[in-house]
Amino acid sequence: MEAIVRACETERWPARIAAVISNKADAKGLAFAQAHGIPTAVVPSKAFATREAFDAVLQETIDGFAPDLVVLAGFMRILTAPFVEHYAGRMLNIHPSLLPLFPGLHTHRQALDAGVVEHGATVHFVTAELDHGPGVLQARIPVLPGDTETALAERLLEKEHVIYPQAVRLFIEDRLRIEDGEVRILETFAG
Ligand code: NHR
């Protein structure tokens, strides 16, 4: 989230971060957002009995800021189908694996256990099926001898901070199209 806010500022995107919203009141990103003059909101998932009830209030809260795009960044609650449908084609996530490999949790552990020589991260549009939406950009890193979950996560995070802002920028430039469940990136004349 911080990388996206910084890219928006330093690259002078024709965009505004409408709000930063968390399901946790103590999330560090909220303080960061406030320091950057960005509105914040908290919808405490713990206070809701069901996923449906939480998602309904989360949706009202998001829509109150009227964003063009919803960006999940470290958001760890599985979202219900109606919520995902409401933001179809306008909600992104970054998942720390080379999807379709290793959807779900503990991706670095999954990659090490599988013995892959390459790992990575994927920015994708969010669909109801967890970590299965159309992919926008991927970054790759080698898996090194002696690698641990922590080491992999740390090296990958640097790459995530590059490709997630790039993907958001492509959306803002209206260069992403979803066709037959796949993302096409439009070229510009400038390259
Ligand atoms: N919701 C839908 N419908 N589809 C996706 O693709 C989603 C999603 C919600 C979040 C992010 C994803 C990730 O980056 C994401 C993608 C949390 C879980 C999970 O199992 C899985 C994937 C992702 C985020 N959450 C548990 C739950 O019961 C809680 C885990 C926890 O709190 O630690 O919600 O990887």
Does ligand 1 come within 6 angstroms of the Cβ of 72? Answer: yes
Q: Select from 50, 44, 39 the least CA-distant residue to 25.
A: 44
Q: Do the domain assignments include residue 117?
A: yes
Strand ranges inside the chain, DSSP E: 20-22, 40-42, 70-71, 91-95, 118-125, 135-142, 176-179, 182-185
Q: Do the domain assignments include residue 55?
A: yes
Question: Domain of 177: which CATH number?
Answer: 3.40.50.170
What per-residue confidence (pLDDT) applies to 191? 54
Q: Do the domain assignments include residue 67?
A: yes
Task: Please provide the DSSP assignment of 100-119 as one string.
Answer: TSS-SS-HHHHHHHHT-SEE
Q: Write out the H or E segment, with its range, that includes residue 13.
A: none
Q: Do the domain assignments include residue 89?
A: yes
Binned average pLDDT, 10 residues per bin, the chain of 191 residues: 98 97 98 98 98 98 98 97 98 98 96 97 97 97 96 98 98 97 90 54
Quick one: 105 exposed, middle or buried, by C-beta within 10 A (0-12, 13-18, 19+)?
exposed
Does ligand 1 come within 6 angstroms of the Cβ of 128? Answer: yes
Does ligand 1 come within 6 angstroms of the Cβ of 77? Answer: yes
Q: How far is the CA of 13 from the centre of ligand 1 (A)?
A: 29
- DSSP code of residue 67: -
Q: How far is the CA of 104 from the centre of ligand 1 (A)?
A: 7
- Looking at the 3D structure of the chain, how many domains does it have? 1
Instruction: Locate the ligand 1 atom nearest the alpha carbon of residue 124 and give its number.
Output: 6
Check whether the bond before 142 is cis (ω within 30° of 0). no
What per-residue confidence (pLDDT) applies to 56? 98
What per-residue confidence (pLDDT) applies to 17? 98
Q: Select from 150, 62, 169 the least CA-distant residue to 109.
A: 150
Q: Do the domain assignments include residue 93?
A: yes
Q: How far is the CA of 76 from the centre of ligand 1 (A)?
A: 5
71: domain range?
A: 2-185
Q: Do the domain assignments include residue 68?
A: yes
Q: Do the domain assignments include residue 190?
A: no
Does ligand 1 come within 6 angstroms of the Cβ of 135? Answer: no
- DSSP code of residue 47: G
Q: Do the domain assignments include residue 158?
A: yes
Does ligand 1 come within 6 angstroms of the Cβ of 124? Answer: no
pTM (2 decimals)?
A: 0.96
Task: Tell me the three state secondary structure of residue 139.
Answer: strand
Phi, psi of 176, rounded to the nearest 5 degrees:
-105, 130
Q: How far is the CA of 74 from the centre of ligand 1 (A)?
A: 9
